[in-house]
Amino acid sequence: MSLKRILSILKRMITDKRFRNTVLTRLTQEVRQASQPINIATKLSDKDQEFLAPMKIAFVGGCELEFMKEFFEANGASCYLTFDHNESSDPNLTLSDFKSGVYSFNPDIVIISDVQFIRNEIGSIQHNVSTFESQEEKLQFIRKRLLNGIQKARTKLNATYVIMTYPLVIRPAFGRFDYKNLNNSFSLREFLNRLELSFYDLSKQEDDVYVLSVNESFLKAGVGLQIRENDADGVYEHFTREGAVTISLELLNHLRVVKGHGRRIKCVVVDLDNTLWDGILRDDGVEGISVYHNRLTVLEFLTQRGILLAIASKNDSTIQPLVDKVLGRISESIVVKKINWNDKAQNLVEIAQELNIGLDSLAFFDDNPYERDQIELFLPDVLVLPETDMIHTLNRIEFEPLGKLTKESTKRTQMYAEHKKREIDENEFALDKEGFLHSCDLELWMREAKDENLGRVTELIQRTNQLNATAVRYSKDEILQFHKSTEYKIYVVNLYDKYGEYGLIGVTVIHKEEDKWVMEVLTFSCRAMGKTVEQTFLSFLMQEAQKENANSLVGKYRKTERNEAMERLFTEAEFESVTAENRLVIWKYNFEEKEIPVYPTWFRILKREK
């Protein structure tokens, strides 16, 4: 590292408290990592060191190349890393600048990493702001820039060029099936595959250019355990038992997501001090802490999956403005902030109640083992994790979106904020419920489901507990079969009001029998509660059934720990309980014997989407 760069860093360490804390935190992490045992020897054989001794290797890129440079230096090669000399991390700019130290170093080998430029596009994919067109342009631009830098370097150097592929553990913001969830752009995997193919294509056209595949290297490190070598021939190879287990476990995780098996987290609750930042905000102040920006980014990605965010921190409530300042825009996505001196177990219970979800839908992150142990003891249904596991949520099954991500999923945080506004206004109409409903400008859109609705239909059926008549969890494939069948109909309902859009909040799967329509599924989002959406939807279904000469609408109800509200719905809607067996209660409304209820006057019924 040059003296100029060292002096620049020292000056900033003295004048910038936040930078100083960030550097010290990073150094602490590096020391901890360095103290851990190394799995492979870093020293090569004498023959390999003799081979490397006359070599001069230039690493052109950013800090991601630091450890590689150290490895080759430790084994006898002469190395130059542009990052150490305060040069641009952009290989094209560096190689196009003949004043670069690369040229005075005069290397035999040039390792090129364009990570710093490519990561902008990776960020765009993770935030879903890319398009197919912009990505294709970016891929062409990346290739053109790299080739331009290499062509410039050729005029001064007699070297071999090696392009390193993008090193990344795939943690897709939109879940393991991001290639299905992103309709307007390539997913993370697709883009990286296309990027790597473009590197190989470039290498094929240029005799002195080669590709170093990071993923292939990582695969080779463990391939001896995964692929059976005694009959491997590079064409058709068998898994070892270990390899079969590895692939089977990954397939199992796929199936868990596809079939909606296992728990799903609806809200992530986080501590603050030493969890979202290093330090104590109340004591150190905004300038004295070092924010874990990678964790904030992960939280932002989780909101794109429809997961809500909340805070549970033992602290003075007066620090909330400082918290909002530190967290920046992510603060607006945090729907509940419990910053007080109450037990965190109490705060978690209150968060679940405010969001109208079960405790088993909460995940709690805290750096303090005592706090984690206390929550595990008193609230065993809550998923409790250390703060260091936050980055792994993007790959954990519990945090996967159910089915295809929908408009309602990605807007869940916004919808909750709108709901809070409704609650405030509703309190002003405490003694006049109908007056409040009339003031909301409520609009309902009820119709048969279309193909584009099936993702949300799946999500609603699989996620909803409280307003779910039978708690049956049909998979997307099963719902698709209902949709295609002539014996079944799927109906859905959307709700709007002056505060915003609720989205698709009600679903039923109808089995058309000879003289009656049977609701095999009837479920509503909790956002529908208290507005008579459920009763109005039932009236609509009766009218639809009557058009096809049915004389009654039948509902099925299986009681669970949470869905008593559905029993009240059938009772208040004047359905009659006709049979009860195996805990399944059959409710029936015969509209030949009594009139179909009229729609409440506070709803405007839409014929098409707004």
Q: Does residue 321 lie in a domain region?
A: yes
| pLDDT band (50, 70, 90) for residue 422 | low
pLDDT digits (tens, 9 = 90+) for 542-579: 999 999 999 999 999 998 888 888 999 999 999 999 87
- Residue 557 maps to which CATH number? 3.40.630.30
Pick from 487, 477, 486, 528: nearest CA to 507: 528
| pLDDT band (50, 70, 90) for residue 28 | low
Q: Does residue 252 lie in a domain region?
A: no
pLDDT digits (tens, 9 = 90+) for 298-317: 999 999 888 999 999 999 99
Q: Which of 254-258, 392-396, 443-447 has the lowest mean pLDDT?
A: 254-258
Tell me which residue range forms the domain holding 348. 267-399
Pick from 440, 469, 464, 435: nearest CA to 538: 469
The count of domains in the chain is: 4
Report the C-alpha gap between 72 and 76 in whole angstroms: 6
Residues 224-246, mean pLDDT to the nearest whole number: 75
Q: Which of 33-42, 55-64, 323-332, 523-532 has the lowest mean pLDDT?
A: 33-42
Q: Which of 27-36, 362-371, 417-426 has the lowest mean pLDDT?
A: 27-36
> Are 375 and 460 part of one and the same domain?
no
Whole-number percent of the chain with pLDDT over 90: 54
Residue 15 main-chain phi, psi, to 5 deg: -95, -20
* Tokens matching residue 22: 């960030």
Tell me how crowded residue 369 is: count the other CB atoms within 10 A of its CB.
9
Boundary of a domain, candidates 399, 428, 445: 399
> Are 55 and 188 part of one and the same domain?
yes
> Are 108 and 68 part of one and the same domain?
yes
Q: Does residue 224 lie in a domain region?
A: no
Three-class DSSP category at 306:
coil
| pLDDT band (50, 70, 90) for residue 38 | very low
Boundary of a domain, candidates 382, 399, 416: 399
Boundary of a domain, candidates 344, 374, 399: 399
**The pLDDT value given to residue 4:** 65
Report the C-alpha gap between 198 and 203 in whole angstroms: 9
pLDDT higher than 90, residue 225:
no
- Residue 322 maps to which CATH number? 3.40.50.1000
> Are 283 and 344 part of one and the same domain?
yes
pLDDT higher than 70, residue 247:
yes
pLDDT digits (tens, 9 = 90+) for 73-123: 988 999 999 999 989 999 999 999 999 999 999 999 999 999 888 989 999
Residues 162-179, mean pLDDT to the nearest whole number: 89
Residues 520-544, mean pLDDT to the nearest whole number: 91
Q: Does residue 240 lie in a domain region?
A: no
- Residue 173 maps to which CATH number? 3.40.50.1110
| pLDDT band (50, 70, 90) for residue 192 | very high
Pure H helices in 276-411: 281-284, 293-304, 320-327, 344-355, 369-378, 407-410
> Are 439 and 582 part of one and the same domain?
yes
Residues 436-465, mean pLDDT to the nearest whole number: 89
**The pLDDT value given to residue 608:** 82
Cross-strand partners of 351:
none
Which residues, 6+ apart, have CB-to-CB distance to 195 below 8 Å?
A: 118, 139, 142, 165, 166
pLDDT higher than 80, residue 581:
no
> Are 289 and 208 part of one and the same domain?
no
pLDDT higher than 60, residue 37:
no
Mean of the per-residue pLDDT values of the chain: 87
Q: Does residue 346 lie in a domain region?
A: yes
> Are 49 and 8 part of one and the same domain?
no
Report the C-alpha gap between 546 and 542 in whole angstroms: 6
Tell me the Ramachandran region of residue 92: left when phi exceeds 0, alpha when psi lies from -120 to 50, beta otherwise: alpha
Q: From residue 360, how far is each of 272, 299, 338, 473 by CA, in Å?
A: 22, 19, 19, 17
> Are 18 and 49 part of one and the same domain?
no
Q: Does residue 458 lie in a domain region?
A: yes
> Are 316 and 301 part of one and the same domain?
yes
Report the C-alpha gap between 420 and 120 in whole angstroms: 35
Q: Does residue 444 lie in a domain region?
A: yes
Q: Which of 461-470, 518-527, 567-576 has the lowest mean pLDDT?
A: 461-470
Alpha carbon dihedral 221, 226, 231, 237, in 10-degree steps, equals -100
> Are 528 and 480 part of one and the same domain?
yes
Q: Does residue 236 lie in a domain region?
A: no
| pLDDT band (50, 70, 90) for residue 261 | confident
Name the residue with tokens 């709690």.
364
> Are 413 and 462 part of one and the same domain?
yes
> Are 75 and 3 part of one and the same domain?
no
How is the beta sheet containing 576-581 ordered, strand by strand? 576-581, 584-590, 552-558, 516-524, 500-512, 488-497, 442-448, 603-606
